[in-house]
A = this chain, B = another copy of it.
Amino acid sequence: VIGVDWGTTRCRAYRLCGEDVRDYRESELGIQHVEADAFGRALQSLIGPWLVDGERQVLLAGMVGSRQGWRETAYLPCPVSTDDVARALVPIPYPDAVVLLAPGVSAADGTGVPELMRGEEAQIFGADIERGSVCLPGTHSKWVRVEERRIVEFSTYLTGDVFAALRDHTILRRSIREGPDEFTAFDAGVSRASDPGGLLHHLFGIRALGLAQRLTDVAAGSYLSGLLIGHEVGAAVQSARPVHLIGATQLTGLYARAIVARAAWT
């Protein structure tokens, strides 16, 4: 079986054998870089050699099932299990292989505002989590509650997206220079997030601390990261513990730091 995590900016393909990954290929042909009639060719360029080698089943998950993707699939309302997803897979005509496209997952946050997910559900089911809170940090972080291996509710935070916009397109750009993570500054940002005043006020503090020469421009990037992640974690961490983190090592490491700090205060 070939599993493909096909997102907005990247496309990642896994050649699977049971629970093992036999091979892995990645390309920058995220859906925003693929013309509407070119999805088949884009897939072929990535997994063609594996098809020649005999693979015949392909599962696609992620933004490839969105309106801007190959074909739009429905959103399954929570609670959602792997069986629910399996029943809702959409076949796509393709030469020499059975290609199945996964649905999305939807929820409401209790206030009537919809929640949407495409792709993270595959990572959650793949991690085989029985119960608890699952955090998938990123451009649009997801916090997901899992019970009896089903996704029962979730919330999205625009954290990574907001980080890049604030760093590059506000007055803060004059106070921030890219550099390695500085954990002391990151922790100070996380801690600041629990002060009164709210995020919009805390953000100005980065500029003010820079002008007062109490925060270097390299440390300011880590402080901003800690501030945003601190606000996210503070809003998202509920009584549901443990928190499972799914993602790349650097980012999940920072989230773990913020979650531990938050737990120490409460």
Contacts and interface: CB of A to CB of B under 8 A. Distances in A.
Q: Chain A interface secondary structure, helix, strand, loop or mixed? A: helix
Interface stretch (A38-46, A113-121, A257-265): A113-121
Contacts of A239: none
Interface string A202-221: 01110111011010000000
Contacts of A140: 171, 204
A3 to B, nearest CB: 25
Most buried by B among A139, A166, A168, A228: A166
A198 to B, nearest CB: 3
B161 A113 contact: no
A144 to B, nearest CB: 13
Contacts of A231: 198-200
Nearest to A234: B198
Interface in A173-204: 192, 195-201, 203-204
A114 B171 contact: no
Nearest to A211: B116
A200 B199 contact: yes
B114 A212 contact: yes
B196 A115 contact: no
A233 B172 CA distance: 22
A120 to B, nearest CB: 13
A201 B158 CA distance: 6
B157 A192 contact: no
Interface string A146-171: 00000000011111011011101111
Given A171-B158, A208-B113, A200 B165 contact: no
Contacts of A205: 109, 113-114
Contact of A235 (B169, B197, B211): B197
Most buried by B among A109, A158, A159, A203: A158
Contacts of A236: 201
A38 B242 CA distance: 61
Interface of A: 67, 109, 111, 113-116, 139-140, 155-159, 161-162, 164-166, 168-172, 192, 195-201, 203-205, 207-209, 211-212, 214, 228, 231-232, 234-236
Given A116-B211, A165-B165, 14 more contacts: A67-B211, A109-B201, A111-B195, A113-B192, A114-B214, A156-B201, A156-B204, A158-B201, A158-B203, A158-B204, A158-B207, A165-B166, A165-B170, A196-B235
23 contacts: A109-B205, A111-B195, A113-B208, A114-B209, A114-B214, A139-B171, A155-B197, A155-B201, A156-B201, A158-B200, A159-B200, A162-B166, A162-B200, A165-B169, A165-B170, A169-B169, A197-B235, A199-B199, A200-B228, A200-B231, A200-B232, A200-B235, A201-B235
